[in-house]
Structures are given as C-alpha cells and as structure tokens.
C-alpha cells in the first residue's frame, strides 16, 4: 500500500471513529495541523476544527456511517477518492467525491468535497 493510500485510509478511519481520541489519532496521521477542509456547506481550518466537524456530523446523523468507497487516485501530490454516508438501515443517503492536496510530509493540507454525482451534460 502506498503512502497516499495509507493517508486516505487514516482520513476515512477518522470519519468512522466514534471515540474522539481514536478520531484525533487518525487525523494526526492524515491531516496537516493547518489543513483546510471545504465542502458546499462549510469551511474549516486546522486539525482540531476538522475533528469538531466530524463530531458534529456524528451528532447530526446518529447511527449513520461515512465510509470510503474507493482508494486514492493520485498524481504529483493531488488525490481523488469517493465515499458515501450509509443510514442505520444500510441504505445510502449520500455519495461524494473528495479532491485533496498533500503536503511535503504526505498529510492532507487541503480537501475540497463534492456531494453527489455531477449532473448530466445538457444537449
């Protein structure tokens, strides 16, 4: 497994973790101290802010699971990977694609998240 795959797996494990200490340990491995997370709803800066966002997501969606659905596709320090949010009954509530940039140490320094699939091309 490449370093990029390990980083993305640690990032995904942070979203799965229900224990705050375990979550922070995964983020320590995957996320830069000053990393920036951006999606269509929010922007947070820093590892602790991301840990809090994940905690808020767990609180807002009890019993739901955010899990990776792909490995990382990457080149020259940029990565793409996919995920979904599964409801307690197993149904998929939401899918997404993340694009990330790695720092010199391999940890993620910026992540842009997109929800759902792109719309079809208009004729």
- Which CATH number does the domain 3-115 belong to among 3.30.499.10, 3.40.50.12170, 3.10.450.50, 1.10.3720.10? 3.10.450.50
Q: What is the pLDDT along the chain (123 residues), one digit of tens a residue?
A: 679 999 999 999 999 999 999 999 999 999 999 999 999 999 999 999 999 999 999 999 999 999 999 999 999 999 999 999 999 999 999 999 999 999 999 999 999 999 999 899 986
pLDDT at 109 (0 to 100): 99
d(CA 60, CA 43): 17
Exposure string of 51-79, with b = 16+ CB inside 10 Å and e = fewer, is bebbeeebeeeeeebbebeebbebeeeeb
Q: What is the pLDDT of residue 122?
A: 85
- List the chain domain ranges: 3-115
Please give the Cα distance from 59 to 21 (Å, whole number).
16
Contact 7, 30 (CB under 8 A): yes
Question: Residue 48's pLDDT is what?
Answer: 97
pLDDT at 49: 98
Question: Which pLDDT score, from 0 to 100, does residue 1 have?
Answer: 62
């Amino acid at each position: 497994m490449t370093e990029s795959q390990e980083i993305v797996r640690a990032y995904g494990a942070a979203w799965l973790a229900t224990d705050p200490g375990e979550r922070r340990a995964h983020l320590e491995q995957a996320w830069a101290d000053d990393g920036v997370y951006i999606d269509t709803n929010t922007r947070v800066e820093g590892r602790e802010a991301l840990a809090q966002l994940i905690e808020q997501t767990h609180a807002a969606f009890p019993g739901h699971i955010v899990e990776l659905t792909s490995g990382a596709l990457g080149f020259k320090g940029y990565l793409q990977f996919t995920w979904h949010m599964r409801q307690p009954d197993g149904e998929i509530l939401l899918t997404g694609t993340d694009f990330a940039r790695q720092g010199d140490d391999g940890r993620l320094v910026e992540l842009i998240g997109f929800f759902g699939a792109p719309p079809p091309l208009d004729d």
